[in-house]
Amino acid sequence: MKKMLSMTVNGAPLEVAVHTHATLAEVLRGELGLTGTKVGCGEGDCGACTVLLDGEPVNSCLVLALQAAGRTVTTIEGLSAEGAAAGESLHPVQAAFVEAGAIQCGFCSPGMILSAAALLRRCPDPTEADVRVALSGNLCRCTGYQKIIEATLAAAESLATSHAGDNSDREGGRP
Amino acid sequence: MSNHRILGTRAVRLDAAAKATGRALYTDDITLPGMLHGAILHSPVAHATIKSIDTSKAVALPGVKAVLTAADVPEIPFGVSPARYDERVLARDKVLYVGDEVAAVAAVDLETAREALELIEVEYEPLDIILDARQALAEGAPQIHPMYEGNLSARVEQEFGDVDSARAKATVICSGRLESEMQDGAFLEPQAAIAELDDQGNLTLTTSTQSVHYIQRTVAMVLSMPVGKVRVVKPAVGGGFGPKAACSTMELLTCLLARATHRPVKIAFTREEVFLHSRARHKFIHHMTLGASADGKLLFLDHEALLDGGAYASFGIATVYYAGSLLGGPYKLPSMRYKGTRSVTNKPTCGAQRGHGGVIARALFERLLDEVAEKLGADPVDLRLQNMMEAGDVTCNDLNMSSLGMRECIEAVRDGSGWQEKRGRLPRGRGIGVACGFFVSGAGYPIYRSDTFHSTAEVKLQEDGGTVLVRSAAADIGQGTDTALAMIAAETIGVDLDQVRVISGDTDLSVDLGAYSSRQTLMTGHAVREAAQKVRDQVLEVLAERLGVSMSDLRVEAGLVLPAEGVDLDFATLRTQYTKEHRGWTDNPTDGPLTFREASRLAFLERGTMVATGGYKPPILGGKFKGAAVGTSPAYGCSAQVVELSVDLETGQISVDSVTDAHDCGQAINLTSVEGQMQGSVSMGLCEALFEQVRFDAKGRCLNANLADYKIPTAMDMPKVDCIVVETDEPNGPYGAKEVGEGAIMPTIPAVLNALHDALGARFERLPLTAQQVATALRTGRPVAAESPQPDTKGYCKIDD
Ligand code: FES
Ligand code: FES
């Protein structure tokens, strides 16, 4: 059985007919073509499918699409579109991941980057331990995490610099 | 050490931005018009004959477009090495493990396909199950696979030098065992494939693979098609680590379903299927005896190994050879005897995984080295240094260490970790350990016997002259090959990295054996370098002709064509010609030296497309004995690590506090990627040492086929890894480069074992080193013993239901 679902995805309100049992990950990837959200397990274990739901990271493979009704979803595609500074194509967290070599196979990267972005919004000046905790739900088999952690800390610094004298919340995702 | 412009720098990877924004496409992200979805029916039982299969209900389900069973698919056997082609697309009379493929369905959507699987009725008659390699080899055990009498998948017997007389001379002899458990690849992207046929009967398979070449050959062979009509393409791949190197039943079924339905078909594994398909690290049992003279010279190694192979051979024959051959170095070892056995069992098939075959063998060998050092009263680092081979040395099994920065590596980790202050001085419960290891930079021979080039590549200058296009079938599966190849092309031609584009991972582009045995930097790198050199020379030839000078009067640097030292040249007419070609363009160069872009455009105007190919094939390597091919390589990377850890003396929980890691990769191409490979290797090794283990129940069902119960490291588990990149000049590598992707895992497990001994005074014999195991050892005073690699003398015992 299908039902109409209204939600805001990457800043744009939309309506889509979804199966009642469809997960948010399925709808984002299948119906909306937002394949930047990856599915590594479909069981809530790997974090590859992380998206921001009202700004909070969730495993979209565990969330029913209908649970997103009336809420705001930010996927990796939206992070770059909404979050980048003028003239840049990448959000500071994305830029830091690219620069630090935190991306190898890249399958964990969209989820990892969103978790990192959510952390930095909540906690703009995290310690290394804060970063490790915040990213502990996102598995990465390639990197051993070190460059991911370095990238997140570097992003915190670059956000702090760019936010000095500019209080607007650029990361997007919040209503 | 080098005066390169591009090599050895920290380049941002070509694919990084696309992956950071979610734009990079992996196989399962691709949807084709009219595409069907496939699903596979796996055997729920570990060993049984198939009495009957009834697909009528599935066929009748609306939306189902094809149902295949063994009767509908080619009978042609396939596998990895031709002598062991032991797999069929679908099980005919017998299933050999929980997960064996029995039927496949293509339907309009995944839901329907899965529903159809449930409607297929299969009647099984259960057979005795053997889940233990020692029992499989015992007298009287029932035969699992028709090809393997006595459940013997492979046996290796080798002796180099005279072990018995060396033993008679040895004063210090240490022997011991190590038993590991089966590991999973646990790459984040589950395998997926999409097949489509065009109207001329050409097949395109898009798949999450490490080797488009091997898949192309296998698909062509099984579907009885000309190789040239099969195109295999690899989009972005979410890690592989070995298990994605061999052609899978799933890839073949995707093609067969596309053929049956005349529509594109996609199959994507679930995470559970990744575990069932496996092809990951074997369970190993090693027993070794290592002897040395009174003054600390290693004299011999006597080694026996047993590998639990699971149902089929896959890469396992190479695995059992590697388990022996990779102990020939990096120490001077005059004699070595090896008996390796691989058995068939009713479990998922094991194959190649990072550090192929050598990881557990290396772990025990390095643990025994520490024991020898202890008996001699020597420092473990000093004993290793004393016996270390030098560049140019050849091992007793004919592996040539053409470059070897092993000494620099071990000295670097000794000095970088504070070894001298800490070794033997840490309080009980804390320990420090060291180990070394090395690995091939590309297997010396392909997996099928052939004189083929291992890598060919094409470098083309786009007609505008400004872009260098590298085309190769090499597989970037996350390790950064595309960027490394671009860097090699840029360095060779003399242009900047942003002028180079790479397209890769497609059998239409070149022949390349793919991403396994850490081969692409060296082998594909050679091919790209050769092609780049040729194409650059083509341009310089035209230019030299126009200027009436010789090619050696010209050089290309930073994208500019410059006169050679001491030569005076006037490029004005060339510039004028180029500018006239581009009237109205706003970016025409006006002053300054001639750019390579201009030169290359002018060369195109005169001669047509500037394109060249390069190829690489290793020289004949290794000895003449049986199995001599496995372990040969044009070059070897090597590494040393020091691990510092703490043990909770109550719970037995080990936490690794720091790792100091040095690796000799020859000339580093991309320093950032080198470190990435080192850190990734350490993370895989540490967790194999501490907690990874695929578990089965008595019926052969996997108990932890998911990423919650099968633990891989999280950001909380990983210590800081201090990376020291040691560079040597490898004579057989392009620009002196060699591997880093697998050698870097070799020292990790033994360094943990040796650190644990330093912490607790006990030599552990079983992996993983779970808290439970350590706690038991703390309580009882001794670690749990490993099994012997010999067949179970109690004989095969029937497992009751
Ligand atoms: S795909 Fe959602 S947690 Fe793994
Ligand atoms: S980069 Fe491959 S899983 Fe993280």
Residue-by-residue DSSP string for B617-672: -PPP-S-SSTTTTTT--S-EEEEEEEEEEEE-TTT--EEEEEEEEEEE-BS-SBHH
The number of distinct structural domains making up chain B is 3
Question: Rounded distance, CA B615 to CA B454, Å?
Answer: 8
pLDDT over 70 (residue A167):
no
- Summarize chain A as % helix, strand, coil (round to 5): 40, 15, 45
Contacts of A90 in chain B (CB under 8 A): 17, 20-21
- Beta carbons within 8 Å of B59's beta carbon, 6+ residues apart: B67
Question: Rounded distance, CA B659 to CA B644, Å?
Answer: 6
Same domain, A72 and A83: no
Question: Rounded distance, CA B38 to CA B116, Å?
Answer: 10
Question: Rounded distance, CA A128 to CA A101, Å?
Answer: 18
The whole-angstrom distance between A113's CA and the closest CA on chain B is 8
A72 within some domain: yes
A170 within some domain: no
Nearest residue to B633 (alpha-carbon basis) of B778, B439, B484, B465: B439
The whole-angstrom distance between B513's CA and the closest CA on chain A is 19
Q: Give the sign of the dihedral formed by CA B490, CA B494, CA B498, CA B502.
A: negative
Q: Using a cut of 0.90, tell me whether the model's pTM lies above it.
A: yes
Ligand 1 close to Cβ of residue A58 (< 6 A)? no
Question: Rounded distance, CA B496 to CA B486, Å?
Answer: 10
A25 by Cβ neighbours in 10 Å (0-12 / 13-18 / 19+) ranks as buried
Q: Of A76, A104, A130, which residue is a domain's last?
A: A76
The whole-angstrom distance between A3's CA and the closest CA on chain B is 18
A55 within some domain: yes
B726 within some domain: yes
CATH number of residue B466's parent domain: 3.30.365.10
Same domain, A100 and A35: no
pLDDT reported for residue B512: 98
The whole-angstrom distance between A148's CA and the closest CA on chain B is 9
Same domain, A35 and A94: no
Sequential DSSP letters for B423-439? TTTSPTTEEEEEEEEEE
pLDDT digits (tens, 9 = 90+) for B427-479: 999 999 999 999 999 999 999 999 999 999 999 999 999 899 999 999 999 99
pLDDT digits (tens, 9 = 90+) for B740-760: 999 999 999 999 999 999 999
pLDDT reported for residue B564: 93
B771 within some domain: yes
Structural domain for B197, as ranges:
27-127+191-268
| Structure-token pair, residue B778 | 């703390």
Ligand 1 close to Cβ of residue A46 (< 6 A)? yes
Question: Rounded distance, CA B553 to CA B558, Å?
Answer: 17
Same domain, B300 and B352: yes
Cβ(B188)–Cβ(A46) below 8 Å: yes
Same domain, B312 and B336: yes
Q: Of B616, B638, B653, which residue is a domain's last?
A: B616
pLDDT category at A173 given cuts 50, 70, 90 is: very low
Nearest residue to B684 (alpha-carbon basis) of B280, B127, B101: B280
pLDDT digits (tens, 9 = 90+) for B568-605: 999 999 999 999 999 999 988 888 899 999 999 999 99
Q: Of A39, A61, A76, which residue is a domain's last?
A: A76
pLDDT category at A171 given cuts 50, 70, 90 is: very low
Phi/psi for B718 (5° steps) reads: -90, 130
Contacts of B673 in chain A (CB under 8 A): 101
Question: Rounded distance, CA B606 to CA B600, Å?
Answer: 10
Ligand 1 centroid from CA A108, angstroms = 10
Same domain, A39 and A95: no
A79 to chain B: closest CA residue = B21
Ligand nearest to the CA of A51: 1
B344 within some domain: yes
B540 within some domain: yes
Same domain, A89 and A145: yes
Same domain, B772 and B693: yes
A174 within some domain: no
Structural domain for A68, as ranges:
2-76
Same domain, B773 and B647: yes
Ligand 1 nearest atom to the CA of residue A61, by list position = 2
pLDDT reported for residue A87: 66
Question: Rounded distance, CA B253 to CA B653, Å?
Answer: 45
Cβ(B764)–Cβ(B753) below 8 Å: yes
Same domain, A13 and A59: yes
Same domain, A158 and A84: yes
Same domain, B234 and B110: yes
pLDDT over 80 (residue B156):
yes
CATH number of residue A54's parent domain: 3.10.20.30
The residues that bridge with B458 in the sheet, in sequence order, are: B471, B613
Say whether the peptide bond before residue B768 is cis (omega within 30 degrees of 0). yes
Cβ(B41)–Cβ(B282) below 8 Å: no
CATH number of residue A85's parent domain: 1.10.150.120
The residues that bridge with B400 in the sheet, in sequence order, are: B394
A173 within some domain: no
Stretch 37-96 of chain A: residues touching chain B, C-beta under 8 Å: 37-46, 48, 75-77, 80, 89-90, 94-95
pLDDT digits (tens, 9 = 90+) for B550-578: 999 999 999 999 999 999 999 999 999 99
Q: Of A23, A47, A76, which residue is a domain's last?
A: A76
B239 to chain A: closest CA residue = A105
B369 within some domain: yes
Same domain, B545 and B665: no
Cβ(B173)–Cβ(B293) below 8 Å: no
Question: Rounded distance, CA B587 to CA B598, Å?
Answer: 12
Say whether the peptide bond before residue B330 is cis (omega within 30 degrees of 0). yes
pLDDT reported for residue B590: 84
Same domain, A24 and A56: yes
Same domain, A65 and A89: no
Ligand 2 centroid from CA B500, angstroms = 25
Sequential DSSP letters for B561-626? EEEPTT-----HHHHHHHHHHTTT-TT---SSSPBHHHHHHHHHHHHS-EEEEEEE-PPP-S-SST
Question: Rounded distance, CA B401 to CA B379, Å?
Answer: 25
Ligand nearest to the CA of A60: 1
pLDDT reported for residue A166: 53
A141 within some domain: yes
The pLDDT of A67-77, averaged and rounded, is 98
A104 to chain B: closest CA residue = B478
Question: Rounded distance, CA A80 to CA A84, Å?
Answer: 6
Same domain, A63 and A16: yes
pLDDT digits (tens, 9 = 90+) for B263-277: 999 999 999 999 999
A39 within some domain: yes
In this complex, do A136 and B716 lie within 8 Å of one another by their Cβ atoms?
Answer: yes
| Structure-token pair, residue B129 | 């199950």
What residue type is assigned to position A45 of the chain?
D
The pLDDT of A126-146, averaged and rounded, is 98
CA distances from B576 to B573, B585, B589, B597 (A): 5, 14, 10, 14
Ligand 2 close to Cβ of residue A140 (< 6 A)? yes
Pocket test for ligand 2, best of B188, B672, B687, B712 (most atoms within 8 A of CB): B188
B472 within some domain: yes
What is the ipTM, given to two decimal places? 0.97
B161 within some domain: yes
Same domain, B236 and B172: no
Residue A175, number of CB atoms within 10 A of its CB = 8
What does the mean pLDDT of chain B come to? Answer: 97
The number of distinct structural domains making up chain A is 2
Stretch 5-44 of chain A: residues touching chain B, C-beta under 8 Å: 29, 34-44
Give the A:B interface size as CB pairs under 8 Å: 179
A114 within some domain: yes
Sequential DSSP letters for A122-174? H-SS--HHHHHHHTTTS--SSSTTHHHHHHHHHHHHHHHHHHTT-----S---
Same domain, A71 and A95: no
pLDDT over 90 (residue A1):
no
Same domain, A92 and A61: no
Q: Would you give the DSSP letter of residue B800?
A: P
B528 within some domain: yes
Question: Rounded distance, CA A157 to CA A92, Å?
Answer: 10
Mutate to test the interface with B, among A49, A103, A149 (most CBs of B within 10 A): A103
pLDDT over 50 (residue A172):
no
pLDDT digits (tens, 9 = 90+) for B21-57: 999 999 999 999 999 999 999 999 999 999 999 999 9
Q: Would you give the DSSP letter of residue B777?
A: H
Task: Cite the DSSP H helix spans in B425-559.
Answer: 481-493, 520-547
Same domain, B627 and B703: yes
Same domain, B257 and B373: no
Q: Of B616, B640, B660, which residue is a domain's last?
A: B616
Pocket test for ligand 1, best of A61, A108, A112, A141 (most atoms within 8 A of CB): A61
pLDDT over 70 (residue A169):
no
Same domain, B630 and B716: yes
The pLDDT of B165-187, averaged and rounded, is 98
Q: Of B600, B616, B632, which residue is a domain's last?
A: B616
Same domain, B561 and B460: yes
pLDDT category at A82 given cuts 50, 70, 90 is: low
| Structure-token pair, residue B63 | 């939306």
The pLDDT of B361-385, averaged and rounded, is 98
CATH number of residue B84's parent domain: 3.90.1170.50
